Structures are given as structure tokens and as C-alpha cells.
């Protein structure tokens, strides 16, 4: 499918989602977020600035000669088979698993991969009869599999989509090639800021606070050969407060992670990811196919 979408002016009757340029209204002093506010549901008052929509030339993943979601209409197609990679507690894994069981995600977690077989994510998998595979093979995890063995295991489970959820090892290029435009990661900062080697867990939030940034939030991105350099698919924004600790900020970001990752995974499972001409992936709204997020 190659849908060229012209600006609204020439397309009466259909409106595209305007990219909101969040600006405070002239003369309005931005109000503080959250607890510092006067108890109202405060946010910076914004107005949508309607700019002429850029011409969107969109292609479904299949049409872009890539793997990943096919070209079926949104919501069509069989349930996707998911592999989730974790290294820690696995709260994002659990959010995705619960969304799959509850019907929000049109897929099923069929295998859990971890470098830490005793971690919370692996425990959750075992208690839900989801097979656990250890990767990579390490001194303290001799039961780990090699890259070819991992690929064979994912094929045996007929995995369609790979989801990294707090996994702390570099995904090898062989896996990237096997699953083009079908591997997602959740990172706890607004990439490209505060990403790359050494940026994981509380280290990310410590760096954000030390930088003086006033906003942070999670990024869902496609995975390429390097840490955190793949194409951004979705983000959420949270405030950073003056008295924040890394733990407080981590909890605020994690809450948003659980929602934005489930939304992104749901879109990938329903083939609602379209690729803009310049290579940026967009989520097609489930409610209105003319809206791209």
C-alpha cells in the first residue's frame, strides 16, 4: 500500500491529525505541574497551532520491502507471536503479557529470553508456563544459548515480533537481520538524549536530573545494531521536579512506559505501523485511520 496523503486543504472531508505545536498561550504564565499546582488538573495551557500538514507518503512495512507487520488492514490478520527479552523485574513484560491476555494486544507471548535466569521477569514467565531461554551464554549462565541456537529457538516458536523490556545486552546483528522492522525497545528517556552504552536503569535518571532537564519520559523505538539509535516510534513526556530523586523520576517514567509500550506493541501486532517517506515510523490511530501518532 502506498498512500500519499496531501495536506487537508486539498482533501475536503478528511482531516489529518495536526501535529500540535505545544505553545503556551500568549501572555499566559505556565502553571506548575503536579503537586506544586493549586490542586487543579494543571498543565501548561496549550493551543494547537495548525501548520500546513507535511505531505505524508506512507508505506506499510511489507510494501517498504521490509519484514515486520504485513500490509493487512488495521486489526486484521492472525495473532502475532511475541518473544520478550528481559534482564530485571519485568514490569513492562508483565504489562504486555496482561494486555495480550486481556485482548488489548493482538498477540501472545510465546517465549521469554533473559541473560539473568533468576530475575523477576523469568519468574513471571515460569509461573505462566512461558518457556524461558537464557541468552547469551555467559560464565555465570553456562546454560545460555549461542546466537544460531537463539535464532533456531525463535523460529521453532514461530516468533513474529521481538520486544526488549529492560534487556541489558546488545542484540546481535544476526537477530536484527532476521527481524527487520520487528524488534522494539523501551528506553526510559526522551531519545536521542541520555541513550547509548552505559545508559540503563537508574543511571539514565541520574543523568537526566544532573543535566537540569525539566522533562523526561519513555521512548519506544525500533532496534538497530547499536544501543538506542533505532527509529523512534512513540514517546511520552513527564515533568522532572526540582527535588526529584532518580527513584522518584524512574517511577514516574515507568508508569508511562507501561502504557506507551502496550500501545506501540498493539499497533505493531495490528499492522498499524506506517513508514513515512523519510523513514520515520508512525502509528496509525486505531480509532481514526486518518490520524497518525
Q: Are strands 161-164 and 132-134 parallel, antiparallel or unpaired?
A: unpaired
Q: What is the rounded distance in angstroms from the CA atom of residue 138 to the CA atom of residue 216? A: 34
Mark whether 187 is an active-site residue.
yes
Contact with ligand GAR (CB under 6 A) among 80, 187, 221, 272? 187
Binding mask 19-58 for ligand GAR (x = CB under 6 A): ----------------------------------------
Site string for ligand LMY7XDAE, 138-177 (x = CB under 6 A): --------------------------x--xxxxx------
Q: Decide if 242 contacts 224 (C-beta within 8 A).
A: no
Return d(Cα 193, Cα 199) in angstroms, integer.
10
Count of CA atoms in the C-beta half-sphere (13 A) of 2: 4
Q: Which stretch binds ligand LMY7XDAE (CB under 6 A): 28-36, 137-145, 194-202, 209-217?
A: 194-202
Interface with ligand LMY7XDAE includes 29 (CB under 6 A)?
no
Q: How many CA atoms lie within 13 A of 270 on its CB side?
A: 21
Give yes or no for residue 261 binding ligand LMY7XDAE (CB under 6 A). no
Assign 194 to helix, strand or coil: coil
Answer yes or no whether residue 199 interacts with ligand LMY7XDAE by CB under 6 A.
yes
Residues in Cβ contact with 82 at an 8 Å cutoff, skipping those fewer than 6 apart: 96, 100, 105, 107, 108, 109, 110, 159, 160, 161, 162, 163, 265, 269
User: Nearest residue by C-beta to ligand GAR?
Assistant: 166
135 touches ligand LMY7XDAE by CB under 6 A: no
Least distance (Å) from ligand LMY7XDAE to the CB of residue 99? 20
Give min distance, CB of 198 to ligand LMY7XDAE, in A. Answer: 5
Query: What H or E segment, with its residue span, contains residue 57?
Result: strand 56-60
Q: Does 264 bind ligand LMY7XDAE (CB under 6 A)?
A: no
CA distance 223 to 173: 10
Helices (H) and strands (E) in the chain, counts: 6, 15
Which residue of the set 106, 187, 205, 221 is catalytic?
A: 187
Considering only 53, 115, 257, 271, the residue that binds ligand GAR (CB under 6 A) is: 257
Contact pattern from residue 119 through residue 158 relative to ligand GAR, giving x for each residue in contact according to CB under 6 A and a dash for the rest: --x-------------------------------------
Residue 170 contact partner, candidates ligand LMY7XDAE, ligand GAR, none, CB within 5 to 8 A by sort of partner: ligand LMY7XDAE
In three-state secondary structure terms, 239 is: strand
| Helix (H/G/I), strand (E/B), else coil: 65 | coil
Shortest spacing between CB 115 and ligand GAR, in angstroms: 13
Q: Is 88 in the site for ligand GAR (CB under 6 A)?
A: yes
* CB distance 262 to 270 below 8 Å: no
d(CA 283, CA 263): 9
Amino acid at each position: 500500500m502506498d498512500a500519499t496523503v496531501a495536506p487537508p486543504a486539498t482533501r475536503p472531508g478528511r482531516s489529518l491529525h495536526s501535529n500540535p505545536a505545544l505553545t503556551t498561550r500568549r501572555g499566559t504564565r505556565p502553571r506548575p505541574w503536579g503537586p506544586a499546582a493549586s490542586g487543579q488538573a494543571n498543565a501548561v495551557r496549550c493551543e494547537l497551532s495548525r501548520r500546513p500538514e507535511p505531505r505524508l507518503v506512507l508505506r506499510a512495512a511489507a510494501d517498504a520491502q521490509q519484514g515486520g507487520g504485513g500490509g493487512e488492514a488495521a486489526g486484521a490478520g492472525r495473532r502475532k507471536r511475541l518473544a520478550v527479552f528481559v534482564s530485571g523485574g519485568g514490569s513492562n513484560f508483565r504489562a504486555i503479557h496482561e494486555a495480550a491476555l486481556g485482548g488489548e494486544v493482538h498477540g501472545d507471548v510465546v517465549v521469554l529470553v533473559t541473560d539473568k535466569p533468576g530475575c523477576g521477569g523469568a519468574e513471571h514467565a515460569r509461573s505462566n508456563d512461558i518457556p524461558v531461554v537464557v541468552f547469551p551464554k555467559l560464565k555465570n549462565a553456562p546454560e545460555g544459548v549461542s546466537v544460531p541456537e537463539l535464532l533456531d529457538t525463535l523460529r521453532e516458536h514461530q516468533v513474529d515480533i521481538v520486544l526488549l523490556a529492560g534487556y541489558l545486552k546488545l542484540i546481535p546483528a544476526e537477530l536484527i537481520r532476521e527481524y527487520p522492522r520487528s524488534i522494539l525497545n523501551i528506553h526510559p528517556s526522551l531519545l536521542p538524549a541520555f541513550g547509548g552504552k552505559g545508559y540503563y536503569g537508574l543511571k539514565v535518571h541520574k543523568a537526566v536530573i544532573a543535566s537540569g532537564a525539566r522533562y523526561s519520559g519513555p521512548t519506544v523505538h525500533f532496534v538497530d545494531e547499536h544501543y538506542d539509535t533505532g527509529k523512534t516510534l512513540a514517546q511520552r513526556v513527564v515533568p522532572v521536579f526540582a527535588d526529584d530523586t532518580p527513584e522518584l523520576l524512574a517511577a514516574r517514567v515507568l508508569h508511562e512506559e507501561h502504557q506507551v509500550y502496550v500501545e506501540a506493541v498493539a499497533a505493531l501486532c495490528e499492522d498499524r505501523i506506517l513508514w513515512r517517506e523519510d523513514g520515520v515510523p508512525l502509528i496509525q490511530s486505531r480509532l481514526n485511520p486518518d490520524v497518525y501518532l
